[in-house]
Amino acid sequence: MTFSVFGYGSLVNRGTLPPHVSAEPVTLKGWRRAWRATSVAHAGGVCAMSVVPAEGEAIDGLLVTFEDDVRPVVDAREYRYDALDAPSLGDTAIIYRASAGVDRFGDAENPIHLTYVDVIVQGFLTEFGMAGVERFMASTDGWHVPVLNDRAAPRYPRAQQLTAQETALVDRLLADAGVTFL
């Protein structure tokens, strides 16, 4: 048996996935992304991506299908999240949303890690092209949360290598969004 997860952040980057899983680009209606999952990770406070209900809106992502026996591994990756049914994507589809205890915008003590943004933008660029990256930025709340530039010493556990062009793209997108860096 299998189950599927709607990936809307780092799960959109296939480099963060096991090589044997299948993933297909999809759009999910009724949601927006938000930098709202705060907690203390191995390297200090962090703010991660979550979703919030939003009638009339939609977000792109990957529907990733896993074997049932890896569910504990996937749940461990998403330990700050609650698994919600996503029936519009299939009988066994779920979406992870920040748990109540961590569902708030980040701050200077719980910043967004730049390497996390890098991973997400790289994934959206690969899967959906530049138009997808622009939709990602527009459908994500919380760009007021400070960003920690951790590229020299990545704190994000699934950091990926970006090309010079991808790095420049992320930097431009964040500047355009008015992001504050720590």
Burial class (CB in 10 A: 0-12, 13-18, 19+), 135: middle
Backbone region of residue 44 per phi and psi (left: phi > 0; alpha: psi in -120 to 50; beta: other values): left
pLDDT of the residue at 20: 87
Can you give the C-alpha Rg of the chain in angstroms?
15
What pLDDT digit, counting tens, does each position of 125-180 carry? 999 999 999 999 999 999 999 999 999 999 999 999 999 999 999 999 999 999 99
For residue 90, being part of any structural domain is answered with yes
| Predicted confidence (pLDDT) per residue in 7-21, tens digit | 999 999 999 998 889
Tell me how many domains the chain contains: 1
The DSSP annotation for 117-170 comes to HHHHHHHHHHHHHHHHHHHHHHTEE-TTS-EE--TTS--STT--PPPHHHHHHH
Q: CB of 134 within 8 A of CB of 172?
A: no
Residue 182 lies in a domain: no
Kind of pairing between the strands at 44-67 and 2-7: antiparallel
Q: Is residue 99 part of a domain?
A: yes
Query: DSSP string of 6-61?
Result: EE-SGGGSGGGS-TT-EEEEEEEEEEEEEEEEEEEETTEEEEEEEEEEEEEEEEEE
In a domain, 181, yes or no: no
Check the CA dihedral 173-59-39-120 and report its sign.
negative
pLDDT of the residue at 88: 94
* pLDDT category of residue 44 using cuts at 50, 70 and 90: confident
Q: Name the band, by pLDDT with cuts 50, 70 and 90, for residue 182.
A: very high
Residue 144 lies in a domain: yes
Q: What is the CATH number of the domain that holds 122?
A: 3.10.490.10
- Picking from 63, 62, 27, 33, the residue whose alpha carbon sits closest to that of residue 48 is 33
- Is residue 30 included in any domain, yes or no? yes
Residue 83 has pLDDT above 90, yes or no: yes
Please check whether residue 51 lies inside any domain of the structure. yes
74 occurs within a structural domain: yes
- Average pLDDT taken over every residue of the chain: 95
Cα–Cα dist 61/53, whole Å: 15
* pLDDT at res. 77: 87
For the chain, what percent of residues have pLDDT higher than 90? 91
- pTM here is 0.96
* pLDDT reading at 43 higher than 70: no
Nearest C-alpha neighbor of 142 from the set 40, 32, 55, 59: 32
Indicate the pLDDT class of residue 42, thresholds 50, 70 and 90: low
Tell me the residue range of the domain where 6 lies: 2-176
